Structure 1
Amino acid sequence: MTLRDLLAGPPTVVAAGVDVFSAALRAQGADVHDVDWRPPGFGDPADLAALALDPRRPAANRTAVERLLAAGSVLTDVRPAKEVLGVPGRTLLHAGPPIAWADASGPLRGALIGACLFEGWASSVEEAQLRLASGFVHLEPCHAHRTVGPMAGVTSPSMWLWCLEDPVQGGRAFCNLNEGLGKVLRMGAFGEDVLTWLAWMRDVLGPVLQAAVRSMHEPMDVKAVLAQMLQMGDEGHNRNRAGSLMALRELSPAIVGLAESSGRASGELAEVLRFIGGNEHFFLNLGMPTAKLATDAARDVPGSTLVTVMSRNGTEFGIQTSGTGDRWFTGPAQTPVGLFLGDFGPEDANPDIGDSAIMETYGVGGFAMAAAPAIVRFVGGTVPDALATTERMYQLTLAENPAMAIPILGFRGAPTGIDVVSVARTGWLPQINTGMAGRVAGTGQVGAGLVQPPRECFEQALAALARGARAS
């Protein structure tokens, strides 16, 4: 048969995967045959069987999901990290699972160097490197301290943190303040302009936000803002335009009021408002601890196979599960595939980095791409890809989050509660959309794209959960 013969008659289509493809073709009159095909699963069949037969699992997952969905998030304060985290003086927090300086990637090294210079623990880049290599500066994961940080996630004692609480279950979570885009510390940049900007955030932005938040008659309901974002074209990870504007709306009356109540200069307050209004990712650092509150609420339920953390440090990708507590399961971080800024290309991108995958762990971000089809202009792909991705993520999760409704799907709740067993059975991995930091320390952001965890994380978690099931 020639190509001419193939195109001479009406097409007959064989479709495999989510229904959105075959439904769209049928609407155009095409003859479509659906095939129930899916990628091969993974994991030891004996481990899968042990979990399938674990009598604790249905009730444990139900409990974990109920806690996750019930969690709320309100903004209660803004405070320096040294006042709330309770870590030793020369400690830097970072994104992802634990890592030593010798294994740190370029952007994480750049951010750690910048933080040492910012804190005055070193007077030069070379001295900072020596002090980090010698152990003079201690490194710990953000997640070990109820904290999350985007990209490198580096948080030092003088940096100000958003302080959020779950009014339902009493949890607390923290995140540093978003610097904006470009050559910033979280992307591994550490030049003089970066340090100057961090000093302004320490001396002006943090104190102004603290005074404004403390003066508000009612705390900001951050979970409600996140829910509204999904109905306004955001997905909560790489697109935060609506959320940032809503945060500005909530905070601006209190900020303006400081001119009268505290005597702060109007020019200083205008500078803060201008920064918030011009920073489209301002809300991300409020959304992340909101997701952290929810997934932390689902922790430590024996027998539960729900994922509570997905995070990466630029070298390794790590996950945690409800049934295994604080134990990390890790594999090599993958390099995102997507769109690049300026003259940057794939060879410039560092492997995946950041705590911001807590958004996907909660069920937004890459899981809610259907709510934000415009995101494909930033991370690559097409609008049908965005819709299909969300449809696929329902196959990996234990519930739908009614608070995070997706308009284009008939206000269906976002897929929530990643299930290790479902990931292993389907062979599908969670979808994350993310920024890309430059491989070389000091470069900054080079693009944005899509990435998935390495399969090894879920294989290890599956085996550990199965051991627990057999021992119970």
Structure 2
Amino acid sequence: MVSVDQANAEALRRILAARPVLVGVAPAAEVIPGLEEGVILHAGPPITWDRMSGPLRGAVIGGIRFEGWARTEAEAVALVEKGQIRFDSCHHHQAVGPMAGVTTPSMPVYVVENRAFGNRAFCNLNEGLGKVLRYGAYSEEVLRRLAWMRDVLGPALAAALERMPDGLDLKHLIAQALHMGDEGHNRNKAGSALLLRALAPALTRTGLTGQPGYGQRVAEVLDFLATNEMTALNVVMAACKATMDPAHGIPGSSVVTAMARNGTDFGIRVSGLGDRWFTAPSRVPQGLYFPGFKAEDANPDIGDSTITETAGLGGFAMAAAPAIVQFVGGSPRDALQATLDMYAITVGENPAFGIPVLDFRGTPTGIDIRKVVETGLLPRVNTGIAHKDAGIGQIGAGLVEPPMECFEEAIVALAEAVGPAGQDTTTT
């Protein structure tokens, strides 16, 4: 029988071999398997309406109104309570979504193809900062922005990518962004600038310049992308999802292939343990709050964006982005130490993602549940903070620890799955 270490070596091989390429933008229902009328995808492990947190409920209400399934908040809630809306995890549909992660059929999504293995992953488009759906806001302003993204931004990006037959190499873009001070989760200033630089020429050459008002629409798109420092987050998330999916389902592997939160539960999936989620209560982040807000206002951690940490970015790459501490708290020394600590709980390093301050050592990659439990070190995660009440939105950013219970449960299940013959000297 293949040992855990051998299975992990194969998981790491697949992660490092990944070639995520941005190939298109399309309405979610046209590309995401199983996303039908009346279905809403959300971040984190599966959850029912009665257990949903405020920001997730707010995003669901906004998603229903955006689709035109209901006109008012009351009508939206009534649809849910009558069982006419079905919910599922984005991860079950090759997708990810930041914060609430709500994805509905007509929303445009990025399409990322892993050309090393042929699989695809999807993520909705970033709305920018402030009052946005992903943080649970659903005012008329939020809905108007979503409609513009559906009617103008999505089609423009789709047309631009059609003029890029080789797509956009995201592994290269992420590597460049790390060298420029990003970590791929909460700091995406460089990545967003690189993405805009790559897309701008194609946006201006889409062949639609003869259409009335097209120049104005392109100007709107360029302005929106140029002023949104988080644009690249959703693209990076899809790249990480496309990278990690081929590493899932390897018998005996103790590598974590997904970490995700729905605002109530924090969950992980482990390569060798099928599609089972190991969950525990999500924790409230510790960090910096916008003026007027405090820790008592915060919702427990939420979002699929921890797919970045799962793939060796985000909190695992903070040494590349010391300025991140201005957003999430701490000091540059803390950012460096966060990355150094993560080498102790991972199965390898990604040489494609070199960290300049560490002499271009690759980011720590491939969380090993055995090492988490043995060392007591939990994955480092940096994150945005949502208000606990629906409709308010983001109130800060900070750091959060996953619950150890997820990893302890998973390692017991792995030991039962592999039995004595599959265990090796590093298996607890």
Both structures adopt the same fold (TM-score exceeding 0.5) = yes
- What is residue 312 of structure 1 aligned with on the other side? 261
Larger Rg: 1
1:368 maps to amino acid = A
Change in Cα spacing, 1:350 to 1:87, as seen in structure 2 (3 Å) is same
1:356 aligns with 2:305: yes
What is the rounded CA distance, in whole Å, between the counterparts of 2:119 and 2:351 in structure 1? 21
- What is residue 10 of structure 2 aligned with on the other side? 63
- What is residue 426 of structure 2 aligned with on the other side? none
- What is residue 469 of structure 1 aligned with on the other side? 418
- What is residue 84 of structure 1 aligned with on the other side? 31
Cα contact 2:272–2:414 (8 A) shared by 1? yes
> What SS does the corresponding residue of 1:244 show, helix, strand or coil?
helix
Shift in Å, 1:134: 2.3
- What is residue 147 of structure 1 aligned with on the other side? 95
Cα contact 1:102–1:133 (8 A) shared by 2? no
Shift in Å, 1:217: 4.1
1:300 aligns with 2:256: no
| Runs of 4 or more above 2 Å deviation | 258-264
- What is residue 342 of structure 1 aligned with on the other side? 291
What is the rounded CA distance, in whole Å, between the counterparts of 2:35 and 2:320 in structure 1? 39
- Cα shift readout 1:388-442 (whole Å, capped 9, x = no counterpart): 1110000000001000100000100000000000000001100100001110000
Cα contact 1:240–1:281 (8 A) shared by 2? yes
- Cα shift readout 1:314-356 (whole Å, capped 9, x = no counterpart): 0000000110121100000000000011211101110000000
Pairing 1:117-196 to 2, within 5 Å after superposition: 117-196=65-144
Which runs of no fewer than 5 residues in structure 1 stay unpaired? 1-53
1:237 maps to amino acid = H
> What SS does the corresponding residue of 1:258 show, helix, strand or coil?
coil
2:29 maps to amino acid = K
Cα contact 1:259–1:265 (8 A) shared by 2? no
2:18 maps to amino acid = A
Which runs of no fewer than 5 residues in structure 2 stay unpaired? 423-428
- What is residue 150 of structure 2 aligned with on the other side? 202
Cα contact 2:35–2:104 (8 A) shared by 1? no
- Sequence identity (%): 55
1:328 aligns with 2:310: no
What is the rounded CA distance, in whole Å, between the counterparts of 2:209 and 2:172 in structure 1? 28
- Cα shift readout 1:137-194 (whole Å, capped 9, x = no counterpart): 0000000000000000000001001001011111100000000011000000000100
Change in Cα spacing, 1:206 to 1:466, as seen in structure 2 (3 Å) is same
Pairing 1:41-60 to 2, within 5 Å after superposition: 56-60=3-7
- Cα shift readout 1:349-403 (whole Å, capped 9, x = no counterpart): 1000000000000011001100000000000001111111110000000001000
What is the rounded CA distance, in whole Å, between the counterparts of 1:461 and 1:134 in structure 2? 35
What is the rounded CA distance, in whole Å, between the counterparts of 1:131 and 1:463 in structure 2? 40
Cα contact 2:378–2:401 (8 A) shared by 1? yes
> What SS does the corresponding residue of 1:293 show, helix, strand or coil?
helix
- Cα shift readout 1:33-52 (whole Å, capped 9, x = no counterpart): xxxxxxxxxxxxxxxxxxxx
What is the rounded CA distance, in whole Å, between the counterparts of 2:4 and 2:210 in structure 1? 55
Aligned length: 419
- Cα shift readout 1:48-107 (whole Å, capped 9, x = no counterpart): xxxxxx852121010010001101111111110111123231000000000000000000
1:75 maps to amino acid = L
1:391 maps to amino acid = L
Pairing 1:417-428 to 2, within 5 Å after superposition: 417-428=366-377
Q: Quote the RMSD (CA, aligned, Å).
A: 1.2
Cα contact 2:132–2:142 (8 A) shared by 1? yes
